[in-house]
Structure 1
Amino acid sequence: MAIILTAVLFAAPAAAQTRVVFTDPPNSSTAARDAIVEFINSAQNTLDVAIYTLTYGITGGRLTDIAGALQAARSRGVALRLVTDVNEETGTQFTILDILSDGVANGVINRGVVRSGNPGGIMHNKFMVADGWRVLTGSTNFTSAGCLSQENNVLILEGQGIAAAYTAEFEEMWNGIYGNRGQPTFPNSFFTNDGVPVEMRFGPDDDLTGRITTAIYSANRSVYFLVNVFSDGTRAYEIAEALKWAAAQGIDVRGVFDEDNQSSAQWNNLVNVPGISLGDYIGGLNAMHNKLMIVDAGTPQAKVFVGSNNWSNAADLTNDENVAILSSEWWSNHYYDYFRRLYVERSSNANGTQPVRRYGDLDGDGALTQADYAIALALASTGNPASPYQLIVGDVEPYPGMGGHIFGDGRIDAADARWIGETLGIVTGDDRIGESLLKPPGSPVSLAPCTVTAVFGQAFYIQQDDRSAGIRVETSGAVPARGQRVAVRGILKALSGGTGERYVEAQAVSVQPDPGVIPAPLTLRAVWLGGASPPGGYTRSVTGGQGLYNTGLRVRCAGRVTGWGPLSFWLDDGSGYWDGYSGFSGVKVSSGFLTRPTVGSFVTVDGISTMEYVNGQNVRVLRPSVQTDIRVLVSP
């Protein structure tokens, strides 16, 4: 099974309004564009737009896509106001704004609809406010590249308080106030309509770098980031020093950015720092356009920073920027999985062209092997916590995810081990033997790993570790050894020749990497061997069987040897059992070519509880497989 991570509009559970969408360039997703257009189309009365670049789209003098949606909003009576960067009113963008502002391309922009500013920096925002209660923000410019070929995110928030904060920022720019006014945003913290705590901050007034470094210094477990520009400015170095400090405290620090895009100095500054792991985005220059950070993902104190600001002096000191800070464990899981996708699938070492990490590579050696499967099994069986790296690459199931996750559930469990095994071509079923015995002949089964308890030629027996059930397996391929753990996929059948003993005709047998231990035998009286047939009518047992069905299980009987037959002997445990045909008291032990104990000896025999068809009846048989299964206690 392959991991398929589609970029879809993702909403929180239970009538939530907070939504997130990610671009997905390798898969040609239009989800970001569609979310932006949908947001514009939803506006009924007012729509304020602060956008750095708007070139999507125009064809033959007609506005299309995002620009077309804005024009359609005006046409249906929505009061549209748009601010952009003064230096972006050129070329295609000028033409779009010209048409958008007054309906025709007359070379004049109607300033009652479109305004621009910030000649000392850039108006770098990418947000919209609709009808005074809905906000769209994130890193996505309204361009074809921003929506389709760059890695970007779109965040949609609903709530009047949140919208009021963004509207206040918009009003300043609309009225020609750009850059640093020295007036921090207040009030700045609200709840969305679906209960997500959000803090809104705007640059340069709100010291965005200070907010970022404070969060890093407060981290308890992890700091993950995706940044388009991580420059060599003094404020960017403040962030770098905070990341170094966090790594030195044992915080897991990982990031992805473009090593060639104004960020080479910080790459060189951080790439060899112990405890910091970086990925160079391999999608091309400027393609990794996100500006987001997740602190303590998957914990109650998690925070997600989402917005327009790069990590640079300009973004902090002169540009008009915005950041939404979500305090949400649920949403931190969602953004964390997006980070995982880029960190694992789409980043490399500096200037690399292929990913250096892969899902399931739990030991970090760059390859997916049985060693990784063994680690996953151990983590799943013991419940021990996985390392942060192991969670990043190994928590792949379920898909879709749980608890806000796009995929996975925040742990390494049996489902993840199964995914790794299946990827390696290992049989990793989850059927139990006891439940399979209730199925009719011809049913396909894929048995979860069990221990091999006995081998007889091309047949062997396996049983559950809890000793609840065992079954015969027949294979034409390599036969596993006693004590190995195997998973078996095949078809349920019944032995011909009378007994009808159930077995699996194996199509695939996978030896597991974890060492098995042969379960201790169940000690039974001879009259209890075989047991009663299980319900369902598909599985036969011994004639007159009583108690729990135990055919196929490794059991132990003790008693006196009463006689010998061809490749066999009889064992009387004093329970009064007699098979009705042999002339000896006790149960038959089918010893094959093993050395038989002398008649009159007192012995214990470990073996498989099975049966033979004699005179129209299934009679009890105990079948040892190795000499040590027969132990003489007292010789005659």
Structure 2
Amino acid sequence: MLAQTAEADNMQRQHMGDLQHNRSIVINGDNLKIAIGGSANLSWRGLYVQNNNAVLLQGNNAFKLFEDAFDALWVSPNDVSGFDNTPSADWEDLGYDNIDARVTFSPHGKSNAKLTEIGKAIAGVKSSLFYSLAFLYETKGAIRNAIEKVADEKTPDVFVYGISDKSVGGLDVQEPNGNPPVAYPEALNGDNLPGPFKEEATGGYGVRLHHKFVVLDFNTPYATVYTGSYNSSIAADTKNAENLFVIKDQRIATSYAVEALAMFDHYAFRDREDEDTKGGNTKNGKKRKSDDDNGDGNDALELQEPPTNGGSAWWAPFWTDATKMRDRELFGQ
């Protein structure tokens, strides 16, 4: 269809060194110049089912950087070495006042690769780390190694929340320092859900979480966000066509941290329900109170009743549970 409407000479199918994974659009109009990057597939599922983000850029400088990257890809179809030595393959300033925001495009070469650089930034975090990284469960390298290091008890002063699209080995265990295990989007069992939760879009692999972002120290003047189409992998760095942003701005970092919090709470809830269904409805080795009145094996998912006089208040765990204590101390500032 595109070959018919745009003519064959105006269209290319590329895979670069592995994948053409760059989700970007450049709009060059007389009155409007916009560039769009990020993780979102521009499809129904990408916009309405998956967790995704898109970065919309206005202004001549930002627009020109995306246009230059497109031109560099166009003249070097599937030629990694033809692209990785262009200016687009290194950090370039987006040109906004009062915001340190830069963009780079993959594939990179050895001299301008970014994977190790991001891993070092994560390893140097001082206060908090939030991440939402699709495919982290199958990705090895500097970024995952740094996340595991920061989440470990050897860095007890850093608050860590993380989400991936599947369980991630090495990040699944509840550590004594209060950093929770990585959350991932299990499907809710419709048999025990009240409306409107029963109606949920279903689909194949990777249907729910597709974000790629890392937030460092959102509550400090050094707040930083890495985001884009860039998966945290060697292939994304040196083979695929990708876009990657680094934004050093506390307001923007906070907006990504809020998204991470909302997703973590939601997916942690899904994970608990999934484990209850698969593991005999236990919590910390103890039988949970059941609402399975008809004996069909499905507990009704309902809000907990308020405590009776003399019972524990809803906020009591925020002074006793390690994870909730750190939550209160960080977000109560």
TM over 0.5, yes or no? yes
- Residue 80 of structure 1 is matched in structure 2 by none
**1-side partners of 2:270 and 2:143: how far apart?**
21
* Distance change (3 Å), C-alpha of 1:246 and 1:257: same
Counterpart of 2:93, as a letter, is: S
What SS is found at the alignment partner of 1:135? strand
- Residue 73 of structure 2 is matched in structure 1 by 173
In 1, are the aligned partners of 2:16 and 2:241 still within 8 Å (CA)?
no
What SS is found at the alignment partner of 1:116? coil
What SS is found at the alignment partner of 1:226? strand
- Deviation of 1:254 after TM superposition, in Å, equals 2.0
Q: CA RMSD in A?
A: 3.2
- Residue 333 of structure 1 is matched in structure 2 by 254
Could you tell me which of 120, 128, 132 is aligned with 1:222? 128
In 2, are the aligned partners of 1:201 and 1:208 still within 8 Å (CA)?
no
Matches within 5 A, 1:230-269: 230-233=136-139, 236-247=140-151, 248-250=154-156, 251-259=158-166, 267-269=168-170
Counterpart of 2:313, as a letter, is: A
* Distance change (3 Å), C-alpha of 1:335 and 1:240: same
Matches within 5 A, 1:24-423: 95=1, 97-102=2-7, 110-112=8-10, 114-118=11-15, 120-131=17-28, 133-178=33-78, 180-181=80-81, 182-183=84-85, 185-186=89-90, 188-192=92-96, 195-205=98-108, 206-233=112-139, 236-247=140-151, 248-250=154-156, 251-259=158-166, 267-272=168-173, 274=175, 275=179, 277-283=181-187, 285-286=205-206, 287-348=208-269, 353=274, 370-373=312-315, 387-390=325-328, 410-411=331-332
**1-side partners of 2:268 and 2:53: how far apart?**
17
Counterpart of 1:321, as a letter, is: E
**1-side partners of 2:316 and 2:173: how far apart?**
30
- Residue 294 of structure 2 is matched in structure 1 by none
Larger RCO of the pair (alpha carbons < 8 Å, separation 6+): 2
User: Percent of counterpart pairs with the same letter?
Assistant: 19
* Distance change (3 Å), C-alpha of 1:387 and 1:211: farther
| Greater radius of gyration (CA) | 1
- Residue 190 of structure 2 is matched in structure 1 by none
**2-side partners of 1:163 and 1:391: how far apart?**
41
Return the structure number with greater strand share: 1
* Distance change (3 Å), C-alpha of 1:324 and 1:387: farther
In 2, are the aligned partners of 1:133 and 1:164 still within 8 Å (CA)?
no
In 2, are the aligned partners of 1:281 and 1:348 still within 8 Å (CA)?
no
TM-score relative to the length of structure 2: 0.69
- Deviation of 1:161 after TM superposition, in Å, equals 2.8
1:408-432 C-alpha deviation (Å, 9 max, x unpaired): xx537xxxxxxxxxxxxxxxxxxxx
In 1, are the aligned partners of 2:159 and 2:326 still within 8 Å (CA)?
yes
In 1, are the aligned partners of 2:141 and 2:234 still within 8 Å (CA)?
no
Structure 2: gaps of 5 or more residues: 188-201, 277-302
What SS is found at the alignment partner of 1:165? helix
**1-side partners of 2:317 and 2:271: how far apart?**
29
In 2, are the aligned partners of 1:179 and 1:320 still within 8 Å (CA)?
no
In 2, are the aligned partners of 1:282 and 1:354 still within 8 Å (CA)?
no
In 2, are the aligned partners of 1:240 and 1:270 still within 8 Å (CA)?
no
Counterpart of 2:221, as a letter, is: P
**2-side partners of 1:175 and 1:391: how far apart?**
53
- Deviation of 1:276 after TM superposition, in Å, equals 5.3
Counterpart of 1:238, as a letter, is: A
**1-side partners of 2:91 and 2:104: how far apart?**
10
1:94-132 C-alpha deviation (Å, 9 max, x unpaired): x3x245425xxxxxxx222x2221253111011122338
Counterpart of 2:121, as a letter, is: A
What SS is found at the alignment partner of 2:218? coil
What SS is found at the alignment partner of 2:237? helix
Return the structure number with greater helix share: 2
In 2, are the aligned partners of 1:282 and 1:348 still within 8 Å (CA)?
no
In the alignment of these two chains, the number of paired residues is 266
In 1, are the aligned partners of 2:186 and 2:270 still within 8 Å (CA)?
no
In 2, are the aligned partners of 1:271 and 1:278 still within 8 Å (CA)?
yes
**1-side partners of 2:43 and 2:258: how far apart?**
25
**2-side partners of 1:188 and 1:170: how far apart?**
15
In 2, are the aligned partners of 1:222 and 1:296 still within 8 Å (CA)?
yes
- Deviation of 1:375 after TM superposition, in Å, equals 7.4
What SS is found at the alignment partner of 1:335? helix
Matches within 5 A, 1:459-498: none
TM-score relative to the length of structure 1: 0.38
- Deviation of 1:313 after TM superposition, in Å, equals 3.1
1:223-254 C-alpha deviation (Å, 9 max, x unpaired): 11111111545xx2322221122232222222
- Deviation of 1:292 after TM superposition, in Å, equals 0.9
Structure 1: gaps of 5 or more residues: 1-94, 103-109, 356-365, 379-385, 393-409, 413-636
Matches within 5 A, 1:558-597: none
Counterpart of 2:122, as a letter, is: I
